[in-house]
Amino acid sequence: MTPDLPKGHALPKARTGISGFDDVTFGGLPAGRPSLVCGAAGCGKTLFAVTFLVNGATQFDEPGVFMSFEERAEDLAANVASLGYDLDALVAEGKLAIDHVRVERNEIEETGEYDLEGLFIRLGYAVDTIGAKRVVLDTIETLFAGLSDAAILRAELRRLFGWLRDRGLTAVITGERGDGQLTRQGLEEYVSDCVILLDNRVEDQVTTRRLRVVKYRGSAHGTNEYPFLIDQDGISVLPVTSAELDYGVSNDIVSSGIDGLDAMLGSGGFHRGTSILISGVAGTGKTTISTHLVDAACERGERCMSFVFEESGAQICRNALSVGLDLKRHVESGLLRFEAARPTLYGLETHLARMHRDIERFQPAIVVIDPISALRGPAVELQATLLRMVDMLKSRGITAVFTSLRTDGAFDQVGDLGLSSLMDAWIKLVDVEANGERTRTLYMIKARGMSHSNQVREFQMSAAGIRLVDAYVGPAGVLTGTARMVQEAEEQASLLRQRQEAERRKREVVRRRLSIERQIAELRASLEVAEEEEIVLREEDDTRETLLGQERRAIAARRSAAE
């Protein structure tokens, strides 16, 4: 953890322009004072010093003098040309002076008392000529090999550092690491304001460069060992990010580029700045899914950076074409960048440092690391590295996509440290083998901060892209692939049968209804006949009654007349 910047009291500092270093030291080297940069051979001392001068001349308008005790000016210029530093041009512009001090023991005869006034005058002359603010002495200890009187040299060095301080020059003095002390001649006794130790360690046949601020008088500084990089872009130091989980969060939703996958997430996509783990064994489609995420982001106009450890960028572009994604145009438009490297090329820290620097420069919105399981190292170190990586990405609000060959979310074969717990979302890809075929399926194991489908989905890759299909979940279990299709066909057949049966029964009912209606009609007809008969009979009765009445009255009349 880096300590907080002390408030109120500010030591004037000269920025080195070395990315990361100025963060670690809260502003750079102590201005107007000499600093010691020490380390074993080949650990980048000279490069550090040259970078300090070149950046001073080009970025901070502080010309510098490089006093070399080892390399000739031409050699020095040639050596740093690969980093894009044009020393000759800076010399021509009067922003840099290089003085090679050659001290050959076999040429020199010591004939009495002397001092190093010649060195002072040369340095003073060079400083005055270009108005230098910065000075590098690389490596002044060489003098001890060329001159035999160590007592004089020590006295003169003490005077030299005092002189640099009096002139207010910010100086970098390099020193080779010695036995039991930081430099062979114990220069740290003289240069006590700021001491920086560079180290180049080999572990498991992989080297990692590290930098440590041993002391920095009057200033707080990061005390850890920080990995640093030397490559074609110069030196960059990776400050260890803070251990606090204090980054801001975003409520933005970003689409995964796969409709079916978005549909599995309650909010229709992932949160921006989330870290997504896609795990699955070989051939389950991890890279293809991450490619969709990348393509979707590029379509939105966001920058993407892909760190690939097993394939080249061109290969991924070609393979993406087979699922209908044209990544090449994104690469050409500058939205997408591939950084391919063999995992064994660097140590873990160096990988992290490299990513850190690339991300810092490219400022992507989404970063893909494919596959993270390719990174090898001791489990504890791996977890620390990945934790920092995730932390670094989160603190920048970058959506991170990691793929892993490990299906259980662990780092490696032996460790039980979980990578999955660092992740906000975890998509697990599982091959289902049944009935002589293999089917790709997908689960959403977790998605922090949103509801998500718990169901397994089958996914199909075709020239039209990835399509998610609901898997068949029935009494026989989860069916996928051809088995699912067979089952679906069977279901359709039985559905047809059921429909036909229903039709038949419907027709039967209609027929029965019709026959009943016919019977009703017949009965009604015979009812009508009966009613007619009844009427006829009733009329006949009435007629008969009437006739009988008339007859009786006629008889009665006849009877009364007869009486």
Partner 1 sequence: MSEAWTESASSPRYVLRLFVAGMTPRSQRAIANLRRICDERLAGRVDLATIDIFQQPHLAEEHQVVAAPTLLRLEPLPVKRLIGDLSDEARVLAGLDLPVSPRRGADER
Beta carbon nearer to partner 1, 71 or 431: 71
Beta carbon nearer to partner 1, 119 or 355: 119
Task: Tell me the backbone φ, ψ of residue 117, rounded to 5 degrees.
Answer: -60, -30
Q: Is 143 in the site for partner 1 (CB under 8 A)?
A: yes
* CA nearest to 104, candidates 148, 150, 153, 146: 146
Kindly report the number of other CB atoms within 10 A of residue 217's CB atom: 11
Alpha-carbon distance of 342 to 561, in angstroms, equals 153
CB 48 to partner 1: min, Å: 24
CB 183 to partner 1: min, Å: 20
Beta carbon nearer to partner 1, 61 or 107: 107
Compose the 522-561 pattern: x for residues touching partner 1 by CB under 8 A, - for all others.
----------------------------------------
Q: Is 122 in the site for partner 1 (CB under 8 A)?
A: yes
CB 68 to partner 1: min, Å: 12
Q: Is 103 in the site for partner 1 (CB under 8 A)?
A: yes
The DSSP element (H or E) to which 57 belongs, if any, is: helix 45-59
Q: Which of 47, 53, 90, 119 binds partner 1 (CB under 8 A)?
A: 119
DSSP secondary structure code for residue 452 in this structure: B
Q: Which of 65, 77, 116, 368 binds partner 1 (CB under 8 A)?
A: 116
What is the token pair recorded at 385? 């590295």
CB 46 to partner 1: min, Å: 20
* CA nearest to 409, candidates 398, 420, 397: 420
Beta carbon nearer to partner 1, 31 or 147: 147
Place of tokens 């995964």: 256
Q: Is 114 in the site for partner 1 (CB under 8 A)?
A: yes
Beta carbon nearer to partner 1, 145 or 548: 145
Q: Is 91 in the site for partner 1 (CB under 8 A)?
A: no
* CA nearest to 350, candidates 368, 373, 377, 314: 377
CA distances from 441 to 46, 383, 472, 478 (A): 55, 28, 12, 11
Q: Is 151 in the site for partner 1 (CB under 8 A)?
A: no
What is the token pair recorded at 316? 């991924």
Stretch 186-225 residues interacting with partner 1 (CB under 8 A): none
Whether the link from the prior residue into 350 is cis, omega within 30° of 0, is no
Compose the 389-418 pattern: x for residues touching partner 1 by CB under 8 A, - for all others.
------------------------------
Alpha-carbon distance of 450 to 269, in angstroms, equals 9
Q: Is 147 in the site for partner 1 (CB under 8 A)?
A: yes
Beta carbon nearer to partner 1, 143 or 374: 143
**Dihedral angle at the C-alpha atoms of 252, 443, 327, 373, nearest 10 degrees?**
100
Q: Is 167 in the site for partner 1 (CB under 8 A)?
A: no
CB 396 to partner 1: min, Å: 49
Backbone region of residue 33 per phi and psi (left: phi > 0; alpha: psi in -120 to 50; beta: other values): beta
Beta carbon nearer to partner 1, 109 or 416: 109
What residues does 66 pair with on adjacent strands? 98, 136
Q: Is 101 in the site for partner 1 (CB under 8 A)?
A: yes
Q: Which of 89, 108, 520, 556 binds partner 1 (CB under 8 A)?
A: 108
CB 93 to partner 1: min, Å: 19
Beta carbon nearer to partner 1, 159 or 328: 159
Alpha-carbon distance of 418 to 422, in angstroms, equals 8
Beta carbon nearer to partner 1, 118 or 474: 118
Would you call 92 exposed, middle or buried from its count of C-beta atoms within 10 A (0-12, 13-18, 19+)? exposed
Beta carbon nearer to partner 1, 125 or 345: 125
Q: Is 99 in the site for partner 1 (CB under 8 A)?
A: yes
* CA nearest to 445, candidates 458, 434, 456: 456
CB 120 to partner 1: min, Å: 8
Alpha-carbon distance of 491 to 431, in angstroms, equals 25
* CA nearest to 71, candidates 82, 79, 63, 81: 79
Alpha-carbon distance of 491 to 138, in angstroms, equals 83
What is the token pair recorded at 407? 């299906």
Q: By CB under 8 A, which span of 96-104, 173-181, 303-311, 437-445 interacts with partner 1?
A: 96-104
Backbone region of residue 291 per phi and psi (left: phi > 0; alpha: psi in -120 to 50; beta: other values): alpha
Q: Which of 124, 268, 343, 397 binds partner 1 (CB under 8 A)?
A: 124
Beta carbon nearer to partner 1, 83 or 103: 103
Q: Is 117 in the site for partner 1 (CB under 8 A)?
A: yes
Q: Is 445 in the site for partner 1 (CB under 8 A)?
A: no
Question: Three-class SS of residue 106?
Answer: helix
Size of the site for partner 1 (CB under 8 A): 25
Q: Is 358 in the site for partner 1 (CB under 8 A)?
A: no
Q: Is 113 in the site for partner 1 (CB under 8 A)?
A: yes
CA distances from 546 to 67, 197, 397, 539 (A): 161, 149, 118, 11
Q: Is 115 in the site for partner 1 (CB under 8 A)?
A: yes
Q: Is 93 in the site for partner 1 (CB under 8 A)?
A: no
What is the token pair recorded at 353? 């440092």
Residues forming the site for partner 1 (CB under 8 A): 99, 101-104, 107-119, 121-122, 124-126, 143, 147
